[in-house]
Structure 1
């Protein structure tokens, strides 16, 4: 499956740096929402039960494309949510994980980044659980891609 991407996601290092410049939580909150607004529009045809992330209070969809290069599986993610802040969390995860080999995605710790950015202490438990569900879904897709390449 090929995913539509109008632009590359903002590099995760830029997002981390921008967070470090924002001292107030309100500014960080607005920044997360802005990241979500910059996501490539998610096609209506991809809003399927298969792409819906379970365990999120909001509606969240993640689509995964796998490309095999040099004997490795690379994953590209696209996503969306009906909630502005969650759409921003999707954007952060895409910036962190999309375009990387499945083996790296499996070893990455997005939850540590979530805490490092101060998101865990400011978001509701439902949003935090939703973030964990998105991470679990992306890791499961990476694990499945690894199993296909063996």
Structure 2
């Protein structure tokens, strides 16, 4: 088969551009997060908790677009690191609340510079970063809405 045959081309795929950008950004975060003792998914959990201080596990999952099967091991590891605390509600044993532990609060100060470093590496000004975030949120919402119609 000739390489010039009509059909999908790698460089024309939006999904590949998103994939490559995600890998590049995640790779940039890796050494920065190593200094914090966190993986990228753990960092996302901590960001959500630093913003809200306390969340139910299902609320946290909704914010991060993670199911409980993915989120539970993350929370267990963060709890083992003494960065978060999980507590069952007395009035509803099925509901678990997650809070930032004192060591997790202390870690926040070390994480403050990370978004600036990553933003600088992306080569985008603040307006462009805002537009990119809006665009990506819109893509996520549209794709999730479409998937929901597929059943």
Larger Rg: 2
TM-score (norm 2): 0.25
TM-score (norm 1): 0.25
Higher helix content, 1 or 2: 2
Q: Which has the higher contact order (CA 8 A, sep 6+)?
A: 1
